[in-house]
Amino acid sequence: MTRLVVAGTDTNVGKTVFSAALAGALGAYYWKPVQAGLEGETDTTSVARLSGLPEEKLLPEAYRLRTPASPHLSARLDGVEIDPARLSPPDRAPLVIETAGGLMTPLTEASLTIDLIARWRLPVVLCARTTLGTINHSLLSLEALRRREIPILGVAFIGEENAETQSVIAQISGVRALGRLPFVAPLTAADLAAAFAAHFRRADFTETNP
C-alpha cells in the first residue's frame, strides 16, 4: 500500500509541483494537512490543476489558515490552535501527503513538522533544490530524519541539472537519488506528467520499503 510523505529542505523548494506530478503518476489521493495562505491558488488547487486527478482524489485540509507563514504563526494570527492529534493520515491509498515548509518548520508552539512525520512512520521523499546551499540543507534534513528513525524513500531534486551536487548528496548520505524534476515551462498538467515520466521511475515510488 503506497503512502508517501513529500517533505522539503525549505519552503518554496517545489514540493507542490513535485507532489502534483507524483500524485498524478500514481493516480493517488493528495492531502495537505495544513494550508497556510489562502490568497490566490492554494496547494490543493494547484495540485488539482497540475495533476489531472479527479476531485474526489483531492482530500480536504485539516486546517486552512489565512496568513502565508509558518503554521504556528499563521494559526496564532487566525486565533486557531492546531491539534496535531487531528493530523492523522486519511485511510486512503495510494496517498501523497505534502507537508508545509521545511522539516523543522514549527507546526505549533511546541512541535515541529518533523515530529508529526515521526508519528506517522511513513516513507519520506525529500525534495531538494539543485542550487547553491542544497548540500548543507539536504544533509542536515536527512540527518534529522534518521535521528528520528523516519523511513526515507529517497531524494527528489528539483531545478536545473547539477550532477556533482546531486551525486555528493547521494554519496555522503547513502540515500537514493530518485531523480530530478526540471523546471517545466509552460507548466501544464501534460508537460509536467511528461517531465516526471522522463526523469523518474514510477516503480521507485510504489516499492516503498526503504
Residue 82: partners with Cβ closer than 8 Å, 6 or more residues away: 34, 63, 71, 72, 75, 107, 108
| Residue 57: active-site member | no
Which ranges in 52-188 belong to alpha helices (H)?
71-78, 113-120, 134-147, 163-173
Reading the block at residue 61, the C-alpha cell is 485540509
Q: Give CA separation, 187 vs 17, 26, 110, 153, 182, in Å.
A: 9, 19, 38, 26, 11
Give CA–CA dist 206/70, Å, rounded. Answer: 31
- Catalytic, out of 32, 57, 72, 129: 32
Residues noted as catalytic: 32
